[in-house]
Structure 1
């Protein structure tokens, strides 16, 4: 009995229970609507696992959601509701695109600079929310929602400028190829690469038919890093203490305002990282005019 209770208390258990009941609710809704839940879920899983390229595309699409979800979860653990992950993601794509177009350095320099530009932009956008919360008591939900729209229109403005707008299109120029983070990007289209892949159908379908990139690896690493920061460091203890009880944290000598700002800077940086990896890792490697949010955050 104790083992069962111990298992039920684990976070991963609650995750699987939530997924299970999610399918139950979805089945009820589908049934009421006149659809067969089994057929619907078969089509769902078939669309994910039936072909290697579907699996790869699912992972690629999941990467920005993982990172922006991590951004929201981190802020929540520190007592803040970062509903501005979408805007932080967008400014990350803006900064990465601008740097990726303007600079054309060797990949060993270009890639870190393009990614860091996105991270920095997201951190600044998150930091603005943190400052307004810490210094003026303005609720982060209000400011982050407003900044989401500012980010969207800023992106469209950058697309329309003469410097970045690609003629006869609704997008900017593509970033320089040295900033791409696609896996084996040059090799897979070379003669040697095509020859090798012709004998490995599964690998060929993944590499040639999808924009497989390093994003998922970085997302997993960041999830581990954030977990260590929150639960294995003094700074993480401070951030969580402020989130649990600001008055008690302040009484214990913790600088509440500074920790609020730092929390939002880190959350914003994570969303900015998601935007940077989207630009460097997936086609078309550029900004396009948006009529609405893409719901990555």
Structure 2
């Protein structure tokens, strides 16, 4: 007998979708209509993949898979081939969610699992195929896809810095006049989305603040110790997908810490690991892998916090 409803009603997930709509529209303006068609194709396969698993248990598809699909697609460059994007979302839904038992049981953020899979498996389209950014009306609304960049001097801010040591202007980083993945360009829209999610109590402000503080403190500390490869903290925070991941990925209620103190520890660790990966590893980014790494320790963090609280109560009662 089929489930009465195809989708599981999830108000919090709908709020996340609302916060992402301006960013989706901005991605079309910056890079062309392929940004939208990529979203549609990936969304279709995400829903189909989850449906194939849930129909056996007579359960509806979660609206969370829509959020997973949107977030995953926004981490991709617009030139990503459709088949690569589809493989990534299928992998993310299956191995980042369904193998753990479905919605609410996953250890890792499914969108990041899919992104990490295609990043490692298909490095050329994910790290070397970037497109110009439209900066005047009607922008990408008048074309399928903006021209491909064929020189490093016009690549993403993180790539440019690693190659030449040059920094993009703060204004360009804030308003999106730089190349990059679909969702990471306009930091203003990301910040506004974060404010909306905090105001509606949809996402944890403690996690957002602790990730930023962990990133800034770690960056300044490493610079003070003489590590010249560490990017200026303010530029680092506004470059790449750091803010996008902080607002939408780190705050995933399933794979993030649940205790109040644990959220601060969890966020600070993400900020610290992001700086370490960016500065000393081969990857220009880092926050994606930082979140997945810290996701591994999230249950332990919460358990240690609970044990500490229990010991304090026992001491007070003694």
Same fold by TM-score greater than 0.5: no
Which structure has the larger Rg? 1
Q: More relative contact order in 1 or in 2 (CA 8 Å, sep 6+)?
A: 1
Q: TM-score range by the shorter chain?
A: under 0.3
| TM-score where L is the length of structure 1 | 0.24
